[in-house]
Amino acid sequence: MKIYLDGKFVDEADAKVSVFDHGLLYGDGVFEGIRLYGGNIFRLEEHLERLEYSAKAILLTLPLTREQLSWATCETCRQNGLTDAYLRLVVTRGVGDLGLSPWLCPKPSMFIIASKITLYPQEHYDNGLAIVTVPTRRIGPAALPPTIKSLNYLNNILGKIEAKQFGALEAIMLNDQGYVAECTADNVFIVHKGEIITPSASQGALRGITRGTVIDIAKELKLPLRETDMTRYDIWCADECFLTGSGAEVIPVVKLDGRVIGSGKPGPITQQVLASFRRRVLVEGTKI
Ligand code: PMP
């Protein structure tokens, strides 16, 4: 496997960063997770824009321009002869001393990995996921805006560990006020009386690219969609529920906290959205 690392393509064994890199020492950096489908990178420009915004928010100067980022991402796919993959773009603060000071890290580091993706097992797309609400709250926008896709994922990892302790693969995370924010690595949607509803990003969610795609799909299919506050009750009493993410795509949820959602089977609107999503990823995107 060839990895893009600071301007060069190197073998996996040589793709190394320093133990003094603040990305490793403090989670000081930003990243993106992107999909390549049939030789097209899905919504590359949107992912690169989000990477730029994340970097701007933490006062990190990206080492590459938009054009260079785009080229390096495509070239990593080409170098590995891939047509379908999961791409991970990472920009770290770079090497510094053992203090926090980012201004003592003169050069950010950037790497791109193009790898195979492990999806949820197919049975969960067919039958839906059973998920739980975890006690760990999603970190609030006043502490660390969840709209920043930073390398600091410990909050999500605690949520993921708790999900596993309850025997679930994903979990709902609430914000400090008790409203639904998102899942540990996915955004959440419900369907109620024909309307698609998702928590507004201001409740503490990442503005997911797949979430944005579902909003576009709803417009195209003329399905009403609303971004609003959501509680666990709204999910328990919904007709349908599904999660979205670059890795998960669109995955149905049929149970939350032991309550069966709707009919207990992936709902018709979820299936319509999933089918439309699967069509889009094959035609939309940047050719590598
Ligand atoms: N929320 C979180 C916390 C995430 O890490 C992700 C990405 N895996 C998502 C939502 C979904 O975002 P996207 O659709 O851009 O992958």
Ligand 1 pocket mutation, candidates 156, 170, 186, criterion most atoms within 8 A of CB: 186
Q: Do 156 and 74 have their domain in common?
A: no
Catalytic site residue from 2, 16, 116, 149: 149
Domain count, the chain: 2
Average pLDDT over residues 237-250: 97
In this predicted structure, the answer to whether residue 133 has a pLDDT above a threshold of 90 is yes
Strands 249-256 and 240-245: antiparallel
Domain boundary (98, 115, 132) is at 115
Contacts of 225 (CB under 8 A, 6+ apart): 195, 196, 197, 198, 214, 215, 218, 219
Same domain, 133 and 241: yes
Inside any domain, residue 287: no
Q: Residue 111's domain spans which residues?
A: 2-115
Q: Using an 8 Å Cβ cutoff, are 3 and 12 in contact? A: yes
Averaged pLDDT for residues 92-114 = 98
Query: In ligand 1, which atom is closest to the CA atom of 211?
Result: 14
pLDDT(119) > 90: no
- In this prediction, residue 33 has a pLDDT band, given cuts at 50, 70 and 90, of very high
Last residue of a domain, one of 115, 138, 169: 115
Higher local confidence (pLDDT), 201 or 167: 167
Tell me, in angstroms, the distance from the centre of ligand 1 to residue 246's CA: 7
Q: Is 287 in the active site? A: no
* DSSP structure class, residue 119: P
Tokens standing for residue 21: 């890199």
Q: Where does the pLDDT of residue 232 fall: very low under 50, low under 70, confident under 90, or very high at 90 and above? A: very high
